[in-house]
Amino acid sequence: MPSQYEVAVIGRGLIGSAAARHLAEADQHVVVIGPDEPTDRRVSPGPFCSHPDEGRITRVAGRTPIWSQLAARSIDRYGDIAQRSSIDFHVQCGLVSSSPKISDWLENSAIAGGNARPVTAEWVSDNTGIVLRNGHPALYEGDPAGYINPRRLVAAQTTLAEAAGAVVVKEAASTLQTSGNGYSVGGPWGSLTARRVLVATGAFGSELLPCSLNLHRMRRTTVTAEISIQDGLPSLICVDPPDERLDEIYWVPPVRYSDGRLALKIGGSLRDSESVEQAALTEWFHGDGNPTEVEALRNSLMGLLPGIEVRSWAQKPCVVTNTATDHPYVGWVDDGIAVALGGCGAAAKSSDELGRLASTLFESANWTDTLPAAAFEPVFD
Ligand SMILES: Cc1cc2nc3c(=O)[nH]c(=O)nc-3n(C[C@H](O)[C@H](O)[C@H](O)COP(=O)(O)OP(=O)(O)OC[C@H]3O[C@@H](n4cnc5c(N)ncnc54)[C@H](O)[C@@H]3O)c2cc1C
């Protein structure tokens, strides 16, 4: 393995693996440093990631025009990534969303060329069996909306990055220091140097940065339910779901989990959830999540799909990383150090475009994209 690179990408999750691919395919001499997910999260010292799962919703309709365009650009490339890596990760099953802000979502979808259209609660019930009682308007987005398998997307991006010449170091970095006219990245595994660095470490890795970014790490619990209905369910996002302790829920239709169960995954956010420091996250990942959130998610599922039989339940802790701007930070934070951080719970579907935008920082001194650089500017604490 050479020990000197043009760019070191630290973090091999959804955004880091995408950035490494784009950099390598643009002929940059790149190394991507990031471990596989922990084999046993209950005892692992971390770092943990936000993508070790079988399903993440994908859709063009989004809360801002920028999110919608990031998603549309990424979705356009799913087929190419899958075909060239021989790793499928995208399932098209449509999306139902219900929220007081549906008209914004419809507008943003139209700006980005999406096909979302308004539907009534009756239409949703007749066509999907989902019973919406929140009184909010709803939309339906057809194919290619649905879900992606985030683990498989990371594998696909890593495969293509390697094929284009990127070196992959499956380890965590614990130090990032200036060295000569670049940086030295190190850990118990050794060290390497790079002229410039991209930090894409998700909720972890903040100790590597020479600055403190305004990031809010939110503990989230997800529940999987083996249910009697398996076919025809779309992905769902619903504001003000049946259990009032939650402000929003989402689900991914039944997919096969590593424990062999074919299960629907439901998650959301409790109204009173608060951010935590990075240091508190390791203990969080060793546990079973928040029992109140689990109960509220179960109630919401039973309210939205009345009469379903659930054969088994399981639950898991996770984390989302919010920013001050509600958009990910993609930009320089120091001379030669850029970040692509803060997925805001919504970056899986758009990770390929976020990785591409991050890669362009290393190709040109100026921001060249039609999306405004200001939307992605890192905010410091
Ligand atoms: C429960 C849940 C549900 C979600 N649902 C959706 C959804 O439906 N649709 C959607 O679009 N998005 C969704 N998201 C958001 C999406 O998963 C995240 O936005 C996305 O994973 C962020 O990508 P990332 O690369 O920033 O972080 P990650 O995917 O977490 O990757 C960061 C990587 O950095 C590595 N790392 C950390 N520290 C170091 C270090 N010191 N050295 C080297 N590597 C390090 C980690 O191991 C990890 O692999 C969801 C998130 C959660 C938690």
pLDDT tens across the length of the chain (381 residues): 667 899 999 999 999 999 999 999 999 999 999 999 999 999 999 999 998 899 999 999 999 999 999 999 999 999 999 999 999 999 999 999 999 999 999 999 999 999 999 999 999 999 999 999 999 999 999 999 999 999 999 999 999 999 999 999 999 999 999 999 899 999 999 999 999 999 999 999 999 999 999 999 999 999 999 998 778 899 999 999 999 999 999 999 999 988 889 999 999 999 989 999 999 999 999 999 999 999 999 999 999 999 899 999 999 999 999 999 999 999 999 999 999 999 999 999 999 999 999 999 999 989 999 999 999 999 999
CATH 3.50.50.60 maps onto the chain at 4-52+151-213+325-376
Helix (H) or strand (E) holding 351: helix 351-360
Q: What is residue 239's three-state secondary structure? A: strand
> What SS3 class is residue 314?
strand
The CA distance from 202 to 118, in Å, is 34
In terms of pTM, does the model score above 0.95?
Answer: yes
**Residue 182 forms beta bridges with which residues?**
179
Atom of ligand 1 nearest to the CA of 171: 43
Which residue's CA is minimally distant from atom 27 of ligand 1? 202
For ligand 1, which residues put their CB under 6 angstroms from it? 10-16, 33-35, 47, 49-51, 56-57, 150, 172-173, 200-202, 204-205, 208, 220, 222, 250, 267, 318-320, 343, 345-349, 351
What is residue 213's DSSP assignment? B
User: Where do you find CATH 3.30.9.10 in the chain?
Assistant: 91-148+215-323
In the CATH scheme, what is the code of domain 91-148+215-323? 3.30.9.10
Mutate which of 54, 66, 201 for ligand 1? The one with the most ligand atoms within 8 Å of its CB, which is 201
The greatest distance separating any two alpha carbons of the chain, rounded to the nearest whole angstrom, comes to: 66
Mutate to test the pocket of ligand 1, among 17, 51, 216, 316 (most ligand atoms within 8 A of CB): 51
pLDDT tens-place string over residues 248-286:
999 999 999 888 899 999 999 999 899 999 999 999 999
Q: What pLDDT is recorded for position 275? A: 93
Q: What is the pLDDT of residue 228?
A: 84
pLDDT tens-digit readout, 9-30: 999 999 999 999 999 999 999 9
pLDDT score for 1: 60
CA distance 212 to 159: 32
Q: Which CATH class is domain 4-52+151-213+325-376?
A: alpha beta
Residue nearest atom 26 in ligand 1 by C-alpha distance: 202
- For the record, the structure tokens of 103 come out as 């008209």
